[in-house]
Amino acid sequence: MADLFVKVCGITTVEQLQWAIDLGYDAVGLMQVPQSTRLVDVPTAKKLIAAADGKIKTFAVGMTLDQVAPLQDAVDTVQLYEHADVPSLALASATPPQSTVGLDYWFFDASHGTGTFVEIPEWVQDVDARFVLAGGLRPDNVAEVVATHQPDGVDVSSGVESAPGVKDYNLMKAFIEAARGAMRD
């Protein structure tokens, strides 16, 4: 199996972005869903994208393309809960995608961004796409999830927060160590 892709979603500050880079995360997600406690406005998102400066991949995360439109040309990947014609698409859903054509990633996320863990169905491994598990992952459960389901990647947000929308360096460190440690076991 190739290296595990590890993304932290809901980054809101340059400090959090730098933690992700220093800890070896592969990507950060910038929330564009209006009701999210992790929403970053467009000027802040553009500041974060500039700070990433090729050191880490950036994802604009929304439910629909309209929500991420102001950032879609500035980020590496657009992550949505609908199919869209964009250069790099990460489709998130709780069901198998009707088509994987044009997908760079497929995120199994039955929580729809709520951070609630849902038992992962066996069929996720049958989807013909680079699949990433998301929803309710934390430092204390990610190793078992990775060992059991052998995903191409994992995505975390609330599982590395000390309060809603507030990332915690030590939790981010514990998460990536547990996720990547499961690949070595």
Q: Tell me: the pLDDT tens digits for 21-43?
A: 999 999 999 999 999 999 999 99
The CATH number for 112's domain is: 3.20.20.70
Q: Is the pTM of this model over 0.85?
A: yes
Kindly tell me the sign of the dihedral angle through the C-alpha atoms of 155, 51, 31, 83.
Answer: negative
Structural domain tally of the chain?
A: 1
Query: Largest Cα–Cα distance in the chain?
Result: 42
Give residue-wise pLDDT tens across range 135-156.
Answer: 999 999 999 999 999 999 999 9
Give the per-residue pLDDT at 1. Answer: 43
Q: What percent of the chain has pLDDT over 70?
A: 97
Domain range for residue 16?
A: 5-184
* Predicted local distance difference test score (pLDDT) of residue 71: 98
Average pLDDT, the chain: 93
Q: What angle do CA 70, 168, 76 make, to 5 degrees?
A: 30
